[in-house]
């Protein structure tokens, strides 16, 4: 089975570390790559500059509260790109605001998940995400 590529768009190094620790224990062969802001995420997805030759991710984990270009702007951009719009995007945020939830689904986010409190809950959420998106769901092969 070929490795699953995940793009994590997250500016908080603590959250990046938590996600990496959680994915390390994965039963799947997961390759997590990180973009720390919205611009970098789009450069990564369009394989610009230093990202030339990178793999197109199978799944995107996207924070909303990002410096400069916000998560919802990144979401709007990539969901209006013919090639990128097929990649599932999971919003991973602390925001519980109804407005954010509606806005993200309107912009075609595939799901909206609140960052849980505590490592155990974080780990459980990551396990659920893996199980659902890598085991239950069928994603495009190419």
Partner 1 sequence: MDPVSNHNVKILILEHEPDDIELLQYQLKKGGLHYSSEVVQERTGYEQALRDFKPDIVLSDYVLPEFDGAAAFYLKKEIAPDTPFIIVSGTIGDENAVELIKAGVTDYVLKDKLFTVVPKIDRALKENWEHREKKEQEEKLANYARELERSNKELEEFAYLASHDLQEPLRMVGSFLQLLQQRYQDKLDEQANEYIYYAVEGAARMKRLINDLLNYSRTNREWLIEQVDIAATVRDALQNLAASVRESGAIIHFENMPVLAGDPGQILQLFQNLIGNAIKFRKKDETPVINISARKHNASWLFAVEDNGIGIHQQYSEKIFVIFKKLHGNEKYEGTGIGLAIAKKIVERHGGKIWFESSPGKGTTFYFTLNPPINETDQHPSC
Footprint of partner 1 (CB under 8 A): 12, 14-15, 18, 21, 65, 94-97, 115, 117-120, 122
From residue 77, give the alpha-carbon distance in Å to each of 1, 60, 91, 132. Answer: 31, 13, 14, 25
| Spatial distance between the Cα atoms of 73 and 16, rounded to a whole number of angstroms | 20
SS3 content of the chain, % helix, strand, coil (to 5): 40, 20, 40
Shortest distance, CB of residue 97 to partner 1, whole angstroms?
6
Q: Give whichever of 54 and 94 is closer to partner 1, judged by the CB atom.
A: 94
Q: Is the CB of 58 or the CB of 100 nearer to partner 1?
A: 100
Q: How far apart are CA 40 and CA 68, in angstroms?
A: 11
- Strands 59-62, 30-35: pairing kind: unpaired
- For partner 1, the closer of residues 86 and 97 by Cβ is 97
Shortest CB 13 distance to partner 1, Å: 9
Q: Which is nearer to partner 1, 79 or 115 (CB)?
A: 115
Q: Could you tell me the smallest distance in angstroms from the CB atom of residue 10 to partner 1?
A: 12
CB of 3 to partner 1, least distance (A): 25
Residue 63 structure tokens: 């924070």
């Amino acid at each position: 089975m070929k490795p699953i590529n995940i793009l994590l768009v997250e500016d908080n190094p603590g959250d990046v570390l938590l996600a990496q620790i959680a994915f390390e224990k994965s039963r799947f062969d997961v390759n997590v790559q990180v973009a720390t802001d919205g611009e970098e995420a789009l450069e990564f997805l369009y394989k610009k500059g230093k990202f030339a030759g990178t793999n197109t991710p199978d799944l995107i984990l996207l924070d909303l509260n990002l410096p400069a270009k916000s998560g919802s702007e990144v979401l709007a951009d990539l969901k209006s790109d013919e090639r990128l719009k097929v990649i599932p995007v999971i919003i991973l945020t602390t925001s519980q605001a109804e407005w954010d939830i509606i806005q993200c689904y309107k912009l075609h986010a595939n799901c909206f998940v609140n960052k849980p409190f505590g490592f155990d809950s974080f780990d459980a959420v990551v396990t659920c995400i893996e199980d659902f998106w890598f085991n239950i769901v069928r994603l495009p092969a190419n």
